[in-house]
Amino acid sequence: MSVHVRVQAEPFDVGVETARLSVLSSHTGGVGVFVGQVRGGHGLLAMTLEHYPGMTEAALNTLAQEAIARFELTGCTLIHRIGRLQVGAGIVFVGAAAPHRGAALTATSFLIDRLKTGAPFWKREEYANGRTQWVDARETDEDAARAWLLKNP
């Protein structure tokens, strides 16, 4: 079992990260991957992501360990970018490797739902008209994270 967690300004390579998960164990039968990116619209130009160093990585590691135990994963990768990211840029890579596809896909959903509300990141949007605003957590994200407390794997 392998956990790979990074918080970085640099872009990640989806192919490289997916391949890394695929070869972790001879018991890996499926890899689930989610890639989040900056969504445009309404004049949005970019998003700046900030974090609390040390605390953020610890939160991501705890989440990864929880997923490994809960879904019997052979590996887990969480990469979250920080800094100024333009529309279309990758923000987050979530990958889960497991003996069976169902566990890999379910773990991927679990990880992104819990990451969105459980890791200390702050997002500021920047618009073409010069306006900026901090992004509040959405109630739907909070609901999705809470729902996992009631679900069994």
Domains of the chain listed by start with CATH number? 2-150 (3.90.1170.40)
Count other Cβ atoms within 10 Å, centred on residue 2: 15
d(CA 57, CA 62): 9
List, for residues 140-152, the tens digit of each pLDDT value.
Answer: 888 888 888 877 6
Beta bridge partners of 90: 37
Task: Check residue 153 and give its pLDDT.
Answer: 59
Rounded (5°) CA angle 147-63-153: 45
Averaged pLDDT, groups of 10, the chain, 153 residues long: 95 97 93 97 96 95 96 97 98 98 97 92 96 89 84 68
Beta bridge partners of 32: 96
Q: Which residues contact 79 (CB under 8 A, 6 or more apart)?
A: 4, 5, 6, 7, 8, 12, 17, 92, 93
Task: Check residue 98 and give its pLDDT.
Answer: 97
The C-alpha torsion from 37 through 39 and 44 to 47, rounded to 10°, is -30
